[in-house]
Amino acid sequence: MRAFALSLRSVLDRLYLFSGILAALFLIAILTLIVLQMLARWTGEVFPGAPDYAGYCMAAASFFAFAHALNRGAHIRVSMVLNVVSRPVRRVLETWCFAIGTALSWYFVYYAIKATYWSWKFHDVSQGQDATPLWIPQLSMDIGSVIFAIALTDHLIHVLIGGDHRIEADVVDQSHGE
């Protein structure tokens, strides 16, 4: 059982890291699209759909970064409250927060996948010059949301079983005004 838990932990950690890497690649894609659009304008050419593609990449970068950022302590948390309460109260508060976050994230996943399905079924396309089928950029939102929901579920289970989350401490959390 211990070996299974360690291998699952390894798979989840790699999934969160891979998600962060994908987010970084989408940020590089945004930079590339902006530079290409600038070059096209300077040469008198047209790059149809570049702003739309940059927007799709921004959404993908955001959703893929959620789980990785959560594990690195980059999400906003009310640490001031958690740092001054006793350990049992902190555990209750973190359990409550992770439970609400997990429930809301899976709720979002359900409706995001449902919206993507209907975009695919109705052949919905973007209103820009590119006329991209909307289900394609929506897939990144779906996949990123699922990974984020898995990360929140992972932390909730870890708080319930182990008593503490696995979020790396942020510099702000470590500083108590010293």
Give 83-125 pLDDT, tens digit per residue.
788 888 888 888 998 999 999 999 999 999 999 999 999 999 9
Helices in 72-174 by DSSP H: which ranges? 79-84, 87-121, 135-162, 171-174
Q: What is the dihedral of CA 50, 54, 59, 61, to 10 degrees?
A: 140
Is the pLDDT at 45 greater than 60, yes or no?
Answer: yes
Q: Are 16 and 71 contacting, i.e. CB atoms less than 8 angstroms apart? A: yes
Structure token digits, residue 57 = 């990449």
pLDDT band at 6 (very low <50, low <70, confident <90, very high): confident
| Mean pLDDT of the residues in the chain | 87
Identify residue 166 by its one-letter amino acid code. Answer: R
* % of the chain beyond a pLDDT of 70: 91
Taking only the tens place, the pLDDT of each residue in 51-93 is 889 999 999 999 999 999 888 877 666 677 777 888 888 888 8
Quickly tell me which residue has 């289970």 as its tokens.
157
Taking only the tens place, the pLDDT of each residue in 8-34 is 888 999 999 999 999 999 999 999 999
The confidence score (pLDDT) of residue 153 equals: 95
Mean pLDDT over residues 138-157, rounded?
Answer: 95
pLDDT band at 162 (very low <50, low <70, confident <90, very high): confident
pLDDT band at 176 (very low <50, low <70, confident <90, very high): very low
User: Which residue in 178, 173, 157 sits closest to 81, CA to CA?
Assistant: 173
The confidence score (pLDDT) of residue 32 equals: 96
pLDDT band at 168 (very low <50, low <70, confident <90, very high): confident
Q: Is 148 exposed, middle or buried (0-12, 13-18, 19+ CB in 10 A)?
A: buried
The confidence score (pLDDT) of residue 78 equals: 65
Domain regions of the chain by residue span: 2-174
Q: pTM of the predicted model, to two decimals?
A: 0.86
